[in-house]
Structure 1
Amino acid sequence: MWRNTRSGWGWVSIALHWLSALAIIGLFALGWWMTGLDYYSGWYNEGPWIHRSVGVLLLLATVGRLVWRLFQPTPHAEGGRFEALAAHLGHLALYALLLVALVSGYLISTAKGGGISVFGWFELPATVYGFANQAEMAGTVHWYSSLTLLVLAAGHALVSFKHHWLDKRLTLLRMLSARYARRNS
């Protein structure tokens, strides 16, 4: 039940999917809120520290998720050829935007050569830094990729509801429970 099959997602994929979704929404909300903080706010340093820490954990989880997908079967797509192609391209776009947002966030945080402390547990070192306007350019990429990611993720959620309620497919249920997908496939 923890591994994927051709009929459904396993618990590892399901957990990584929903934890990523929560982290993406939380990071976007926190990031947007942080832009309005002034120097005298108690969250002026705390908010970015949490944002960076969760971002690094999401980056590590995303890399793990991609490696996991390489070695696991992908459940068959429901619907026609066009829908399967659209789903595949949509998922590729989600992963690409997520990686762009995470890497650009890393480039903002390490632009001056300092690493990123992840909740004080470990430090992710700076590997690429010192480029002219690195933080500003990465910041622009980070904002637009994050915004686009959130919009595309909202579309992803809406399409899953369409498949569930209008098309009467198991698409959404397969991402909610590994047991349900296996019983009904």
Structure 2
Amino acid sequence: MWRNTSGGWGLPSILLHWLSAVAVVGLFALGWWMTGLGYYDDWYYLAPWWHRSVGMILFGATILRLVWRACQPTPHSQGHRLERIAAHLGHIALYVLMLVVLVSGYLISTADGSGIQVFGWFEVPAVISGLRNQATLAGIVHWYASLILMALAIGHMLAALKHHFIDRNDTLIRMLSPTSSRRKMD
């Protein structure tokens, strides 16, 4: 139930996947919404605080997820050869884009040399700051990488639904239940 097998995902992989998915979509929606806030809006300071805090938690969870994935077997992909290659490349692209979005967000927030307060629990220090046009350049990267990440996430979701409803295989079920593929293997 805890560890991945060649037939299915373990509970840590499943939880990290769904928490990341919710965080990515939520951060995208919050980021889009907060760019339209005016100085006198009640959420003008609070929305970025939430965005940065959740973003830093997601950054840590993404690093944990990558370490966990490196230490665990990856379940066999389903579908024909081209689908398996596309799935592999798509997963790499999703991870790379998540890291680009998270690092660029960090660079925006720390451009002035201030660390990032995470829900008032701890501060992530500004390791890199004061670079020429740091906030502006990181902001451009953050915006476009976020758009591409959302497009890939939608493609990822549509592929999972295709596997479930059209191909009728257990690709989606394996990401919902750590025991579904183990029952078949027993």
After TM superposition, the score normalised by the length of structure 1 is 0.99
User: Is 1:130 paired with 2:130?
Assistant: yes
User: Is 1:139 paired with 2:139?
Assistant: yes
Question: Deviation of residue 37 (structure 1)?
Answer: 0.6
> Over residues 93-124 of structure 1, what are the superposed CA-to-partner deviations in whole Å (9 max), with x where a residue is unaligned?
00000000000000000000000000000000
1:22 is aligned to 22
User: Is 1:97 paired with 2:110?
Assistant: no
Partner Cα separation in structure 2 for residue 41 and residue 78 of structure 1 = 49
- What amino acid sits opposite 1:148 in the alignment? I
Q: Secondary structure at the match of 2:123?
A: strand
* Residues 144-183 of structure 1 mapped to structure 2, 5 A cutoff: 144-183=144-183
Partner Cα separation in structure 2 for residue 46 and residue 3 of structure 1 = 38
Contiguous gaps of at least 5 residues in structure 1: none
- What amino acid sits opposite 1:103 in the alignment? V
Partner Cα separation in structure 2 for residue 28 and residue 181 of structure 1 = 32
**What is the aligned length?**
185
Partner Cα separation in structure 2 for residue 129 and residue 97 of structure 1 = 22
Question: Deviation of residue 136 (structure 1)?
Answer: 0.5
Sequence identity percentage: 64
Partner Cα separation in structure 1 for residue 110 and residue 23 of structure 2 = 21
Partner Cα separation in structure 2 for residue 78 and residue 161 of structure 1 = 13
Partner Cα separation in structure 2 for residue 107 and residue 129 of structure 1 = 7
Contiguous gaps of at least 5 residues in structure 2: none
User: Is 1:184 paired with 2:184?
Assistant: yes
Question: Deviation of residue 2 (structure 1)?
Answer: 1.1
Q: Secondary structure at the match of 2:79?
A: coil
Partner Cα separation in structure 2 for residue 36 and residue 153 of structure 1 = 24
Q: Secondary structure at the match of 2:148?
A: helix
> Over residues 65-119 of structure 1, what are the superposed CA-to-partner deviations in whole Å (9 max), with x where a residue is unaligned?
0000110000011122211111100000000000000000000000000000000
Q: Secondary structure at the match of 2:179?
A: helix
- What amino acid sits opposite 2:60 in the alignment? L
Partner Cα separation in structure 2 for residue 125 and residue 170 of structure 1 = 43
User: Is 1:4 paired with 2:7?
Assistant: no
- What amino acid sits opposite 1:106 in the alignment? Y
1:41 is aligned to 41
Q: Secondary structure at the match of 1:111?
A: coil
Partner Cα separation in structure 2 for residue 122 and residue 114 of structure 1 = 13
- What amino acid sits opposite 1:135 in the alignment? A
1:70 is aligned to 70
- What amino acid sits opposite 1:43 in the alignment? W
> Over residues 24-80 of structure 1, what are the superposed CA-to-partner deviations in whole Å (9 max), with x where a residue is unaligned?
000000000000111111110000000000000000000000000110000011122
Q: Secondary structure at the match of 1:43?
A: coil
User: Is 1:54 paired with 2:54?
Assistant: yes
